[in-house]
Structure 1
Amino acid sequence: MLKFIIHGIAIAFLTVLTQVGGIVYLIVLALSNRYQLNLLKSSGLFLGTYMVVCLLILPFLAPMFGRVALPVTGNLKPLNYITCLLNRHYVRTELREQLVGVSDRINKQFEGTKTNYLDANFPFYDGFPLFPHLSHNDGRKVDIAFYYTNQETKAYSNSAPSFIGYGIYEGPAANETNYPKQCADKGYWQYGFLNYLIPHWKADKFSVDVKRTGTLIRSLATDQRTSKIFLEPHLKQRWKLGGYNKIRFHGCQAVRHDDHIHLQL
């Protein structure tokens, strides 16, 4: 009975995390039982099968569901390659074209600049949730990292203070609208919970490159394909983006957006 519970938890966890990991686990479990493989061989078989599925099979199948993988190299790339290994980098073709185009323009304007994406969507099925996001379930949404500079050298850095791109916030000043506090006061505990989960040991080594980040946001906000951009109101105020109606507040039911940009078609 305990084995069934453990296997069930593993399948559920891998499905929530990667969408297809639970299916791979079931296949490997059946093969391991059939051929009486030990734990080491079963683990190796799982890793090998999972990598083949992620790297070779999913990119071929995803277009049948209206989605394609984002690039992993070039001017547009993941901040962390784990995003791709977890299959969280799939979008609709239109969004991919928009992102590739804007990243190329940013690179042309600011030579050497790479645009780093964070979570996008899984490869299959509209409505399948991408935990912990509320709306990344239809191929039309993607999170983009801010651009940063090195605090010591003041030079552009193709990195970020958070290894996943989330959780290191550009908080409001005393004279700015403080939605993080307002949401917390209303009982929305999840709004800033990543602040307590993400290590801050690199936080003081980076500062947001406002010029690059502002240029990116303005380009996206004036693109007809863009439906909404989520950004904290105090950053919209601070970065003088008030004239762009597509830049909106996302509500207290979500999480803070002063650590990344949320873009949707």
Structure 2
Amino acid sequence: MKIVKPIIIVLLFCLLTVFTQIGGLVYLISISLHRLINKTVNNKYYRQITKAVVFMVLYCLTTFLIVPPLARLSGRVPLPFSQINHLKPLNRLTCLFNRNYVRPQLKQAAFAVAAEMNHKYPGSTLNYLDASFPFINGFPLMPHLSHNDGKKLDLAFFYIDNKTGLETDKTPSPIGYGISEEPRAGEINTTQACLIKGYWQYSFLTKIVPQGNKVNFTFDSLRTKALVTQG
């Protein structure tokens, strides 16, 4: 049984590193405090809760106070946590997981596109999805093989709310991925083309994300076309 704990620690370290980049390191730091927690908290149940809380506090402090200034030294800056200049994350977990870092030039470009979209379609807000991690060129942001240099940023499509018939900034998928639009007649089936080439990860989320919410939205081809053709 002694081997189980180290295995769990290694697995958690790897998972946290893969999904957040810094989470694994923060986890190791929090483990260094476990001996102190074991001495000061007698109840086994509260002891585990305390360890989890300590990790979460350390993680949040690191994510929002320590990482941003350090990332700037390596030429990357965070995109906004909440709406600024008509740009916001579709899901704030993107920011919590440190997947919202870009080069300063890309950040300004995103703001410019968001402002232009709001000018053309008043009330529109541009939702961003995955960008890059804060550190290390070449460090992959799974499942995006190319999001490793701060120069890539995914943007959400625009939709119309079927209940109101009005333009909306909401999307069928809460994370922006996993619910996709089917190709129209004459269009290339990109998903199928990727599968043939072995890139299965791009359609994997469609098998995980519930598809029921898709019927509540209609793809807004007008605004999305304007977004794609910006610049």
Calculate the TM-score normalised by the size of structure 1.
Answer: 0.79
Q: Which amino acid aligns with 2:52?
A: S
2:44 is matched with: none
State the alpha-carbon separation in 1 of the partners of residues 190 and 178 from structure 2: 16
Structure number with the higher strand fraction is 1
State the alpha-carbon separation in 1 of the partners of residues 197 and 133 from structure 2: 32
> Where does the alignment leave 5 or more consecutive residues of structure 1 unmatched?
223-265
User: Are 2:50 and 1:41 equivalent residues in the alignment?
Assistant: yes
State the alpha-carbon separation in 2 of the partners of residues 155 and 137 from structure 1: 37
> Where does the alignment leave 5 or more consecutive residues of structure 2 unmatched?
42-46
| Deviation larger for 134-143 or 174-183 | 174-183
State the alpha-carbon separation in 2 of the partners of residues 117 and 130 from structure 1: 15
User: Are 2:96 and 1:85 equivalent residues in the alignment?
Assistant: yes
Deviations 1:123-162 (A, max 9, x none): 0110111111111000000100001110132201111000
Superposed, 1:176-187 pairs within 5 Å as 176-185=187-196
The equivalent position to 1:52 in structure 2, one of 33, 55, 61, is 61
**1:173 aligns to what SS in structure 2?**
coil
1:30 is matched with: 32
State the alpha-carbon separation in 1 of the partners of residues 50 and 37 from structure 2: 11
State the alpha-carbon separation in 1 of the partners of residues 205 and 98 from structure 2: 21
Q: Which amino acid aligns with 2:89?
A: P
Distance 1:108 1:187, change over 3 A: closer
Shift of the alpha carbon at 1:30?
A: 0.6
1:147 is matched with: 158
Q: Which amino acid aligns with 1:169?
A: S
Q: Which amino acid aligns with 1:216?
A: L
State the alpha-carbon separation in 1 of the partners of residues 196 and 140 from structure 2: 28
Deviations 1:82-136 (A, max 9, x none): 0000000000000000001110111122111100000000001101111111110
Superposed, 1:178-257 pairs within 5 Å as 178-185=189-196, 188-219=199-230, 222=231
**1:136 aligns to what SS in structure 2?**
coil
Structure number with the higher helix fraction is 2
Alignment size in residue pairs: 220
Give the CA RMSD over aligned residues.
Answer: 1.5
Deviations 1:181-229 (A, max 9, x none): 344456554342222111111101111211111111111xx3xxxxxxx
- Percent identical residues: 44
Q: Which amino acid aligns with 1:66?
A: G
State the alpha-carbon separation in 1 of the partners of residues 49 and 9 from structure 2: 16
Distance 1:102 1:25, change over 3 A: same
**2:122 aligns to what SS in structure 1?**
coil
Shift of the alpha carbon at 1:173?
A: 2.8
State the alpha-carbon separation in 2 of the partners of residues 70 and 191 from structure 1: 24
| Deviation larger for 169-178 or 49-58 | 169-178
State the alpha-carbon separation in 1 of the partners of residues 195 and 139 from structure 2: 28
Superposed, 1:102-141 pairs within 5 Å as 102-141=113-152
1:165 is matched with: 176
| Deviation larger for 119-128 or 26-35 | 26-35
Calculate the TM-score normalised by the size of structure 2.
Answer: 0.90
State the alpha-carbon separation in 1 of the partners of residues 227 and 197 from structure 2: 32
State the alpha-carbon separation in 1 of the partners of residues 201 and 146 from structure 2: 16
